[in-house]
Amino acid sequence: MKKYIFPVTMTFLLISCNKIEEKIDQTVQKTTEKVQEKAQQAVEETIKKTVNESINSLTNSQDVRFNDLFPTTGAPVITDETGKKFKFPTGSEGYVFKYKADIAVLLPFLEGQPTSDESRSDKTARKIDGQSIIDKISLASKFLPENTFDTSFLEEIKTDKSIQYYKLKRFPNSSTLIYNPTNQTIIQYVEVNK
């Protein structure tokens, strides 16, 4: 009988040790997940706070007309326009315009705009892949306070494969255009480099 007690006891002891080890592994894994989750939350809260402070500290946010930045003579190039000018705490300026236009007329008009440095300027607008723009807008919209930024158009540009994207740099202005050929709506972001 003693022959059997020792192996049975050792088997129970081995099983108990395995269960204890398994329980320790589970506890360590849960603790690690909680720490990672709390760290991620802390990072997100810090980023949101920083972005909120930056947005709240925008100065000279004002309505602006397309013609204020791109003077025209003759027939108007765009219709149904809205525009905002932003001056960031860093001192840099940016413009966002939304309007309707025929891209075949608009691009040559923008390409013909005067530049202060031809060597740092593009001669023609170039069509670009819009995925990087979508990614940047998506990322930015996650950290913005609610109702700061209308992201409804984001779903449209993600799903509509006919949307076209253009980049044009006419120093000091650098324009990114999102063009919807279905309704001829354009969203244009202009960054002013100094």
Could you tell me if 157 and 139 lie in one domain? yes
Q: For residue 66, give every residue at least 6 positions away whose Cβ sits within 8 Å of its Cβ, in sequence order, or none.
A: 77, 78, 81, 83, 97, 99
Could you tell me if 171 and 184 lie in one domain? yes
| Mean pLDDT taken over the chain | 79
Could you tell me if 50 and 108 lie in one domain? no
Could you tell me if 51 and 140 lie in one domain? no
Last-in-domain residue among 57, 79, 99: 57
Q: What is the pLDDT of residues 77-117, one digit of tens each?
A: 888 888 888 776 667 788 888 899 999 999 999 999 888 88
Cα separation, 66 vs 190, in Å, equals 11
Could you tell me if 40 and 122 lie in one domain? no
Could you tell me if 28 and 83 lie in one domain? no
Q: For residue 126, what pLDDT is reported?
A: 93
Which two tokens mark 64? 């602006």
* Predicted structure pTM score: 0.63
Residue found under tokens 């309007």: 99
Q: How many residues make up the chain in this entry?
A: 194
Could you tell me if 45 and 85 lie in one domain? no
Count: domains in the chain: 2
Q: What is the pLDDT of residues 109-119, one digit of tens each?
A: 999 988 888 88
Domain housing 136: 59-192
